[in-house]
Structure 1
Amino acid sequence: MRVVVLCGGESSERDVSLASGWSVARALLERGHEVVVVDPAAAVPLLAGPLTPGEAVERSMVGEQPPRPSQRRRLRERMHAALTAGFVLDLLRDAGMVFVALHGGWGEDGHVQALLEMAGVGFTGAGSAACTAAWHKGRSQAVLGAAGVPVPERALWRPGTREAPRDVKRLVTAGPVVAKPVADGSSVAVHKVDSFPRLVQVAAEVHAGEGELLVEPFLPGREFTVGVVGDQVLPVVEIELTTPVFDYTAKYQPDAVSEVCPARIPHALATRLQDLALRAHEALGFGSGAYSRTDFRCDGHGEPMCLEVNALPGLTATSLLPRAAAGAGWSYPHLIQRIVDLAHPARLPSPAVPR
């Protein structure tokens, strides 16, 4: 069928999304689909297509640093216009399926999914409600904790609007802590912080005045991630770090970090991590037609804590979900086809009832 791949977008993960989109396009062509690649935030949204099996597809690399936020408003204006009217919306409506390879921002917080739902367009991944639930780390951790998934203690601060809350100061005093935007992805602007003056500096550096900053204790133990595709839990991946935190550079530059799958851990720990990932997937409303990736880090006693659930995890050549799929014996094109097969068909609006 004809599949439109949505990638790029307006978020800090724009480069990652473009790389994912081109990788997905190659896999879909290999599986025999016709492909159109669209970046709804670009000045010229149609990047390629329609492409037919056998045609070459360019490769896109992820830069060492995420894009600057200065152009984000313009990108959002273009993206909104493209997804609500004109030929891009026509392309989406005429497609057999839309593969959402957007990461972060409107692509992962539920905005794009809501627009596609209202337009009656079938698409891959979670629906708007689940994306919204997972995107805000503070609220999602509250849901996960209530569902029995262990999460670290956390405190929220909106710098520039008021003095730091008492809980933030207490966590920093007990330190060290990890500070990051409460709604962002790809470990953008994640910092290990040892003092309150440094936390104030970090808040200014990451433009946290535009949103909330999440502060939680630094967990010194091992780091793992677990993918769920539909109702199948993939093998555990261990992320062996050479840096204090798994930041943007470590995630997307080759050989910056070692990722081991299946993780070399006791069977009981692997089973527990997989059970917790599936529980988190379900608690946030991800149905059998969605996929997710849940990140864990262990405390000083070796107990895993859930950091976040990713509604649209990266699909680049070096991303963690494809690494987990390979650990299960799936090729990359097979993973992409599985995601397409899980997707719901177009949700067409009900016809109006005559009065």
Structure 2
Amino acid sequence: MPERSVRTLAIVTGDHHVQDPTKLGAAYGPEDLKAHAAMVEAIASLGRFDITVYNDHRRLFERLAEQRPDLVVNFCDTGVGNRPTRELNLPAWLELHDIPYTGATPQAMVLCFDKQIVRLVAEALGVAVPGEVFLPAGMPRETLPDLYPALLKPNAADGSVGITKDAVVRDQTEARAYLAFLDRELPGRDILWQEYLPGPEYGLGLIGNPDAELVALPPLEVDFSRLPKGANPILSFESKADPASPYWTEIKFRQARLDDDTRDRMESWARLLFRRFGLQDYGRFDFRCAADGEPRLMEINPNPAWANDGKLAFMAGFAKIPYPRMLEMVIDAAIRRIAVSG
């Protein structure tokens, strides 16, 4: 598809009118709506596209079929109807109807949603990963793994759901209490018992596609230094959903200060994983250092947060890329990819 033919954009986000488990109180708040408005304004400011915004999923597919936009900007990272397990449904439907879209394929979403699969594939490719034990849902837990301190989290979840400020456990008593919390709040979920990594946490973003231009943004470091004494330095659910929590107010992002070897190694791993998992147009890779100071892969985000206060926007800012231009880079990556693939 030639670039000049892309005029009509449909921007699909989460549904503002129904419950969302990734939000505090399962509802969109003022901060969420502010970020959404800033994103729409940023794309409109490019002056290139006729934009329709879909933040109400009632008759979503019928309306998209009627409009048949030149390109769907798939920012629906909460899933259709704000159900995370239905995040893949939108791109799957768009493919069936031959409507181009930005971002990850359904296959990439399924693979990256399962954290154990990500770890196993990454390890097979030579990417450093933390030690981990998989706890299947419903299995007896008379004997727990002897791996402390540990980070306990759902094997499949987005938005740090299931990872609260208390997710780091240091003994069996704390572990059993947190496992009980997870069983109560997220029944039927498989759980990962993961080696807790005490070192710095980094994010690395890529925009583009492997067979064209794939731009690596300057890595980001999470600054936990302002958290209250004794608080676990992690990006918990509170850090993404609760404006009243110190995890929201005191955690900051800054440009990472990395030696060349470490930065190059993380970037090389990110590029390898981008291709292996079939990501498209953009992606974010989270790393954290173990006690030996070496980074380990924590997570792959195939459709990372697009908000102007999200990690990807911060990384773009480190490269002096304005927020509207960052969004345009993602859109243009999709346009070039579609032109090549037909």
> TM-score, normalized by length of structure 2?
0.79
Once residues 142 and 93 of structure 2 are traced to their aligned partners in structure 1, the CA distance between those partners, rounded to angstroms, is 36
CA contact (8 A) 2:35 2:309 kept: no
1:346 shift after superposition = 11
Change (3 A) 1:236 1:297: same
Note the aligned Cα RMSD (angstroms): 2.5
Identity of aligned residues (%): 22
Once residues 149 and 320 of structure 1 are traced to their aligned partners in structure 2, the CA distance between those partners, rounded to angstroms, is 22
Pairing 1:101–2:95 present: no
CA contact (8 A) 2:162 2:186 kept: no
Once residues 228 and 282 of structure 1 are traced to their aligned partners in structure 2, the CA distance between those partners, rounded to angstroms, is 11
Amino acid at match of 2:75: A
Structure 2 match to 1:330: 321
Q: 1:142 aligns with which of 113, 116, 120?
A: 120
Deviation digits for residues 262-296 of structure 1, max 9, x if unmatched? x122222222222222122122122xx42100000
Structure 1 match to 2:211: none
**Any gaps of 5 or more consecutive residues in structure 2?**
1-6, 209-213
Structure 2 match to 1:272: 265
Larger deviation, residues 335-344 vs 248-257: 248-257
Structure 1 match to 2:140: 163
Structure 1 match to 2:51: 35
Once residues 309 and 234 of structure 2 are traced to their aligned partners in structure 1, the CA distance between those partners, rounded to angstroms, is 18
Pairing 1:193–2:169 present: yes
Deviation digits for residues 146-192 of structure 1, max 9, x if unmatched? 11111112222234x221386xx22xx33111111111122222111
CA contact (8 A) 1:157 1:212 kept: yes
1:313 shift after superposition = 1.0
**Any gaps of 5 or more consecutive residues in structure 1?**
46-81, 348-355
Once residues 107 and 321 of structure 1 are traced to their aligned partners in structure 2, the CA distance between those partners, rounded to angstroms, is 23
Pairing 1:245–2:238 present: no
Amino acid at match of 2:220: V
> TM-score, normalized by length of structure 1?
0.76
Change (3 A) 1:117 1:182: same
Deviation digits for residues 96-152 of structure 1, max 9, x if unmatched? 211111224447752221111112111111111112111111111111111111111
Q: 1:183 aligns with which of 156, 162, 168?
A: 156
Pairing 1:259–2:253 present: yes
Larger deviation, residues 149-158 vs 314-323: 149-158
Q: 2:39 aligns with which of 10, 24, 27?
A: 24
Q: 1:235 aligns with which of 218, 225, 230?
A: 218
Q: 1:154 aligns with which of 125, 128, 132?
A: 132
Amino acid at match of 1:277: A
Once residues 228 and 108 of structure 1 are traced to their aligned partners in structure 2, the CA distance between those partners, rounded to angstroms, is 24
Once residues 303 and 108 of structure 1 are traced to their aligned partners in structure 2, the CA distance between those partners, rounded to angstroms, is 35
Once residues 294 and 89 of structure 1 are traced to their aligned partners in structure 2, the CA distance between those partners, rounded to angstroms, is 33
Structure 2 match to 1:297: 288
Once residues 318 and 3 of structure 1 are traced to their aligned partners in structure 2, the CA distance between those partners, rounded to angstroms, is 23
